[in-house]
Amino acid sequence: MASLATWAPFELRDEFLLAIDQNDRAAALELASRLQTCTNRLPSATCAALGLPFGSAYSDAAERVLGRSRLVAARPDFAALAAMAKGLH
């Protein structure tokens, strides 16, 4: 049976995390559109910053950033996320 998992290159995932940490809304939105099917797991600090359950995938974060998450209703406040992420590092 074929796996339905899809993985994104680590460079793309790292760029996405950096965009969130740096409150770069335009970059985060563009990168999120490229991570919608990525099943790699997010770092715990990013899950917490985005209000996602621990163990969430990049696809969950992408949906959250794009404002389409089933887990959390609203698009994130990037300034608040950046502040929270800095406190978790």
Q: Give the pLDDT score at 67.
A: 86
With respect to residue 58, please indicate whether it lies within any of the assigned structural domains.
yes
The boundaries of the domain holding residue 46 are 10-88
pTM: 0.73
Does a structural domain hold residue 3? no
Is residue 5 a part of any domain in this protein? no
Q: Is residue 1 part of a domain?
A: no
Task: Transcribe 16-41 into DSSP letters.
Answer: HHHHHHTT-HHHHHHHHHH-TT--PB
How many structural domains is the chain composed of?
A: 1
Q: What is the pLDDT along the chain (89 residues), one digit of tens a residue?
A: 455 668 999 999 999 999 998 989 899 999 999 999 999 999 999 998 899 999 999 999 999 999 864 544 455 666 776 676 666 55
For position 56, what pLDDT does the model report?
96
Decide if 47 contacts 76 (C-beta within 8 A): no
Q: Give the C-alpha distances (Å, rounded to integers) separating 67 from 9, 47, 70.
A: 23, 15, 9
- Domain assignment present for residue 74? The answer is yes
Phi first, then psi, for residue 48 (nearest 5°) are -65, -45
